[in-house]
Structure 1
């Protein structure tokens, strides 16, 4: 056995002294990384129920389709939209829709803090439970094959009725979707030559169903609750071949928002007991004619780019004052819901609810005529633009103008004076002039010497302004300028 010199022994001891701390540090680093991965939700944006209530708004992620969220004749509608609006009302906050253009992005958008809630019904599958916290199920569904009906005696083609008959068929589904995962499992389990074509996440299930109907593709897959109303649009489609077990449908929140999840679950349970959820399901999923009426209408805004039958008049009127026609459309909807014959208790007439005294300034008398009504209304808006030109920021100025159109500029001026007197900023709207306009319904404020016009139910013009701007945001999401 060779002898080890003292120098060699010192080198060995030195190497050992360096190796074991390095190994220990590596193991600690690895264990730390594992711990971070297992607890990665602690790094998600922190916005739970308390922060939502403090902000005054609930941000929901919604994709545009003819069932869950759409705009029809200027009105935001849909199963998910109405349900989300009702939940926001329950929380005492306003609803803000965050549009989802690609359904594959909705979970990352939620986790990144771009919304508080995914309100598009999602199938609850295991692969998603690591990323989101699902609500109490809203409903359940099964996946069905979407195919065109075929007359086998005439064409020689047979309808696909079993999983085995999917052999050598090509099915188009959205990439990373529950449909894609299910088809992959079917192919592996059944050992068939099924060709699964993943399509971009920006294509909705409804668009793929339309492609089957037009003959561009032969097969896609949809949840039965989506397939049934779409059959009303496309009677030549067959949706009777079931290819999955029943799966729950739910909304989703971030995993670090337990208070929101708890409030949502309690609210859903209460709405289930009242029968509201069933009523809403019947309205959008079970009355198939309703979907066909909306989707084929000239006023289904995603396809037509139209809001009302007065779009051309609105565009002309908006152009005279430099407004976006979609903003003016939102104001008209708030005033009359596009009914040119409506007359208010105070005598305001037509689409823009113009008072005869206001119209007289522009020498317009026939306010029941939509064109003349819009001309008179936009002339008054032009006057208000000049009234508030002192407000430099255009986005802020428009709030002063809208509130003035509803309540009159005098009451808004009073609110400015009150804001100045009590230490707020008379050139800002939120939490400043808006607040004191609301307070003009209280004796302490409407009896104040600076409030020259006295009492005003200021909550009405404040709500009016919010409604118009919220609807305008929705219009901008789906209707081209």
Structure 2
């Protein structure tokens, strides 16, 4: 009997409760063929809260895997129902019992479980990485960890790698933590409680900025593509449909675009920059946060996006002055300030009001056909380099056969505006085209951090499965007393707020 089925037989109380609630919600095992799923009209997905997978925001659910699942449900013509489990052990247990159609756990197709589930790769590759606290000596290999404890989450890809390495390194030892997620492991490495741990590289990329005392030592093994898991009790019709659908997204570029939204800007804060930003969030932001909130609301912008712009411009310093004459917290030019009715650029309130008003004006210039969040990316680039230069870059993009309405394409062509062979072909000529790309990517990262730190904040993983979202209708049948999913990212604002900010 497999280790996962054994775990169910001797399951802890919370896992038994999980299965009991699943029975209440579903009444019985799920349909086992694609045709039956279409007839029922609902795609049941079990997942866990993680920025790389699924997050519930006040503006709605988001996350890389969630966005793909939503599109897949639309492709099938069914509604998407999401339930949240506390960890991967619970997800795998639910799948083993066939109480969900798909499991999104952030796992690759491990050899140890490959025969127990159907799997389909999702386009994101990751590998196990050894992390350590900066105050301890950096290990160069697993051999350096002999006699020391390495910490890992339960039912991860990392246990298998450690088991394989132990044949050559018998003194290698590790501790599995069923009650922790990757963020919990990272926080303990940050504090020094854990000296060494192993997590997935994509998880480290998304969370590094929050844990500046955590460093990567080395990677273990080759990168593997993360996968969706399907119950073995199903036939392979749903898995094959998912495989075909994701291949279509690869071909038409949508998969790359979604990947860029969540992963394309994660390298923008190094160790020093992250520590400085987090220090300023505590020491400077509280003084100006009420003003960001007030004027963001007036001009229908997410206040965290407005604050991120302000940090990129001046590090929230109201008396900032540049050699080129722009000044103030939002670094407005004299002409811009005059145009929007700002008299004193060094007054923090006037500057923030002016920045909000100007960004709204710029945002409204971007064609409405461009969907969010790309429309906001373009607005930020225009805020920095000017609308005319942005349009020049979009024309160059189109002439090269790429999509001028996609930020991931246009950001490749903006730097060409600094090269004579390219800017001589444009209407507005030379521009330092690298600057708006860096500008936008930095603001996306600052926004990402602020969105995870502020309103409403992260909650612990759910202790039992909970219906948190269903596309097409309000989820009224959630079990009582379940924990709400954490809020760490957002792909959209509530409709009344207008400007949709970036997601990572």
Alignment TM-score, normalising by the size of structure 1: 0.52
Do structure 1's residue 183 and structure 2's residue 162 form an aligned pair? yes
Q: Identify the match of residue 77 of structure 1 among 55, 59, 62.
A: 62
CA distance 1:194–1:211, shift in 2 (3 Å): same
Q: Which residue of 1 aligns with 2:202?
A: 225
In structure 2, relative to structure 1, the CA distance for the partners of 1:270 and 1:166 (3 Å cut) is: same
Partner of 1:50: 35
Which stretches in structure 2 are left out of the alignment for 5+ residues? 1-28, 267-444, 462-469, 488-504
Question: After TM superposition, where is structure 1 displaced by more than 4 Å over at least 4 residues in a row?
Answer: 467-476
Q: CA deviation at 1:196?
A: 0.6
Matched, 1:298 2:451: no
How do 1:70-109 residues align onto structure 2 when only pairs under 5 Å count? 70-109=55-94
Q: Structure 1 residues 120, 267: closer, same or farther in 2, change over 3 A?
A: same
Aligned residue for 1:331? none
Distance change >3 Å, CA 109–CA 273, structure 1 → 2: same
* Superposed displacement of residue 106, structure 1: 1.5
Aligned to 2:112: 127
Change (3 A) 1:237 1:273: same
SS in 2 for 1:114: coil
Q: Match of 2:357?
A: none
Deviations 1:103-130 (A, max 9, x none): 1121221121221001233211111112
Asked if residue 478 in structure 1 is aligned to residue 485 in structure 2, the reply is yes
- TM-aligned CA distance change 1:476 to 1:177, over 3 Å: closer
Question: 2:125 matched to 1:140?
Answer: yes
- Counterpart among 246, 265, 271 of residue 223 in structure 2: 246
In 2, Cα distance between equivalents of 1:127 and 1:195: 19
User: Which residue of the partner structure matches residue 358 of structure 2?
Assistant: none
Q: Which fold has the larger relative contact order, with Cα–Cα distance below 8 Å and residues 6 or more apart in sequence?
A: 2
Query: Is 1:114 paired with 2:270?
Result: no
TM-score (norm 2): 0.49
Q: Which residue of 2 aligns with 1:64?
A: 49
Go from structure 1 to structure 2 and tell me whether the alpha carbon gap of 1:293 and 1:123 turns closer, same or farther (over 3 Å shift): same
1:140 CA displacement = 2.2
**Change over 3 Å in CA distance of 1:276–1:471 after alignment to 2:** farther
State the partner residue of 2:253. Answer: 275
1:266 lines up with 2:266 in the alignment: no
Cα separation, 2, equivalents of 1:222 and 1:83? 23
Q: How many residues in Structure 1 have an aligned counterpart in Structure 2? A: 273
Structure of greater Rg: 1
Question: What does the per-residue CA deviation read over 1:164-220, in whole Å, with 9 as the maximum and x for residues that have no partner?
Answer: 11222211112343212211221222x2522211111x4212221121112221111
Answer whether contact 1:166 1:192 (CA < 8 A) is retained: no
Match of 1:168 among 143, 147, 152: 147
Distance 1:247 1:56 in 2: 33
Q: Once the 2 structures are TM-superposed, how far is the Cα of residue 467 of structure 1 from its aligned partner?
A: 4.3
| 2:180 is equivalent to residue 203 of structure 1 | yes
For residues 65 and 159 of structure 1, do their structure 2 counterparts lie closer, same or farther at Cα, with a shift above 3 Å needed?
Answer: same
Shift of 1:471: 10
Say if 2:262 is the partner of 1:284: yes
Aligned-partner Cα distance in 2 for 1:86–1:263: 13
Contact 2:107 / 2:157 at 8 angstroms: preserved in 1? Answer: no
Higher alpha-carbon deviation: 266-275 or 117-126: 117-126
Identify if the C-alpha distance between structure 1 residues 111 and 45 changes in structure 2 by more than 3 Å, giving closer, same or farther: farther
Distance in 2 of aligned mates of 1:291 and 1:107: 33
Matched with 2:394 is none
Task: Work out whether residues 164 and 192 of structure 1, in 8 Å CA contact, stay in contact via their aligned partners in 2.
Answer: no
Alignment RMSD (CA, Å): 3.2
Alignment match, 1:158 = 137
For the 8 Å contact 2:121–2:243, the answer to whether it is kept is: yes
Deviates more, 1:66-75 or 1:79-88: 66-75
Give yes or no for contact 1:139–1:248 (8 Å, CA) kept in 2: yes
Please report how far the alpha carbon of residue 304 of structure 1 lies from its aligned counterpart in structure 2 after TM superposition. Answer: 9.2
Q: Distance in 1 between matches of 2:449 and 2:128?
A: 25
**More helix as a share of residues:** 1
CA drift of 1:478 comes to 3.0
Gaps of 5+ in 1: 1-43, 151-156, 306-462
Tell me the alpha carbon deviations over residues 86-109 of structure 1, each in whole angstroms, 9 at most, x when there is no partner: 111111111100111121121221
CA distance in 2, matches of 1:51, 1:464: 19
Counterpart contact for 1:233–1:291, Cα < 8 Å: no
Matched, 1:212 2:212: no
Deviation of 1:73 (Å): 3.1
CA shift at 1:469, angstroms?
4.7
